[in-house]
């Protein structure tokens, strides 16, 4: 390791990459597994405290490598126990992450981008545009920081990639983060305890299906027709619903696993009973379930939440037509931590938002 070079951010490296970096510098590959256990299982980031490493390696890591966690800028607690964390990154960009207790397990909701290029009409994050991609270390760093702040280091929890950003638009860094999260020497989180939410990018979903690690998949559909979906989700102008359904049918699902289709209910827009019937027909023959998400209203979003009666009728119609359906209970709405409410005020937009539909 070259002390004059930029410090090596250990959180950016999956175990195989760390093994290669150590071997190239004359250290044994197996030390990578030890480092992973210290950092991810014990939340120890000071190399001097990694007592089963050789002294020379500890000194080298202390001098030339870092474990840089995002800095906590603020922390808000909802009346329902949900906590929202505002983290500041090295370049002073900010992202939000959420801790959702008792769901029934403990769940961390993490971000993969600063902002989002998808520009969904009902999502505050989309109003930011894409400021920049997060590195694998910044993604994993949120998990480490949350585990520390809520005292879950070394304890079981779930992770959902449902925070700011489109995970599959930041494919390589997201996959590296997944490898770190599931590594047996580190967090050792089983793929069944990780959910990746995507707006539906068929080429990336196809690629994901060839990965050795397959998390739970949640596809944000939000409409039963291409015309309506294009009004709500701009990327639908490029990828139609049929494209998404076709690639989902090719995914190698585990036994008893289903693809989740998320559907944000908007009053008078996509909550008609005929919409429910169309949706059920679309998903017929696919191992799936529908997660209905009543809109979490926010200033600047030009839609309203349907009535409880309309939500119940929509869910019943889906079930009557053979769909497996659930209605998501919103958490953290009073602190703007619920689905679609994450936004960092004052973040500068980039051209990426304008290019989103051409991806």
- The residues annotated as belonging to the active site are 96, 339
3-state secondary structure the chain: CCCCCCCEEHHHCCHHHHHHHHHHCCCCCCHHHHHHHHHHHCCCCCHHHCCCCCHHHHHHHHHHEECCCCEEEEEEECCCCCEEEEEECCCCCEEEEEEECCCCCCEEECCCEEECCCCCCCCCHHHHCEEEECCHHHHHHHHHHHHHHCCCCCCCCEEEECCCCCHHHHHHHHHHHHHHHHCCCCCCCCHHHEEEEECCCHHHHHHHCCCCCCCEEEEECCCCCHHHHHHHCHHHHCCCHHHHHHHHHCCCCCCCCCEEEEEEECCCCCCCHHHHHHHHHHCCCCCEEEEEEECCCCCCCCCCCCCHHHHHHHHHHHHHCCCCEEECCCCCHHHCCCCCCCCCCCCCCCCHHHHHHHC
**Spatial separation of the C-alpha atoms in residues 42 and 153, rounded to whole Å:** 6
Name the one residue in this structure whose structure tokens are 């990780």: 194
Q: Measuring CA to CA, which residue among 290, 304, 231, 229 is closest to residue 262? A: 290
């Amino acid at each position: 390791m070259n002390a004059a070079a930029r410090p090596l951010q250990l959180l950016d490296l999956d175990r195989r990459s760390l093994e290669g970096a150590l071997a190239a510098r004359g250290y044994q590959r197996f030390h990578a597994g030890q480092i992973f256990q210290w950092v991810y299982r014990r939340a120890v980031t000071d190399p001097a405290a990694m007592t089963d490493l050789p002294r020379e390696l500890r000194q080298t890591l202390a001098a030339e490598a870092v474990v840089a966690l995002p800095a906590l800028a603020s922390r808000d607690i909802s009346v329902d126990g949900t906590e929202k964390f505002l983290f500041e990154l090295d370049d002073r960009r900010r992202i939000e992450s959420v801790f959702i207790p008792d769901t029934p397990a403990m769940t961390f909701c993490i971000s993969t981008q600063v902002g989002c290029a998808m520009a969904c009409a009902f999502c505050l994050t989309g109003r930011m545009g894409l400021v920049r991609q997060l590195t694998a270390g910044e993604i994993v760093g949120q998990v480490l920081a949350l585990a520390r702040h809520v005292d879950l280091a070394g304890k079981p929890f779930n992770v959902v990639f449902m925070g700011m950003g489109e995970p599959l638009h930041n494919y390589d860094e997201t996959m590296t983060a997944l490898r770190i999260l599931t590594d047996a020497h580190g967090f050792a989180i089983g793929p069944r305890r990780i959910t990746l939410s995507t707006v539906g990018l068929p080429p990336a979903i196809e690629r994901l299906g060839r990965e050795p690690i397959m998390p739970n998949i949640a596809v944000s559909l939000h409409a039963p027709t291409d015309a309506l979906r294009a009004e709500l989700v701009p990327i639908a102008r490029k990828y139609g619903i049929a494209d998404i359904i076709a690639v989902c049918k090719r995914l190698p699902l585990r036994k008893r696993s289903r693809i989740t289709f998320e559907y944000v209910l908007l009053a008078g827009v996509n909550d008609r009973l005929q919409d429910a019937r169309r949706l059920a027909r679309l998903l017929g023959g696919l191992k799936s379930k529908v997660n209905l998400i009543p809109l979490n209203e926010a200033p600047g979003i030009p839609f309203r939440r349907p009535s409880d009666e309309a939500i119940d009728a929509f869910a019943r119609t889906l079930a009557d037509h053979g769909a497996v359906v659930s209605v998501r209970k919103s958490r953290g709405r009073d602190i703007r931590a619920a689905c679609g409410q994450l936004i960092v005020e004052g973040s500068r937009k980039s051209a990426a938002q304008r290019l989103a539909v051409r991806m």
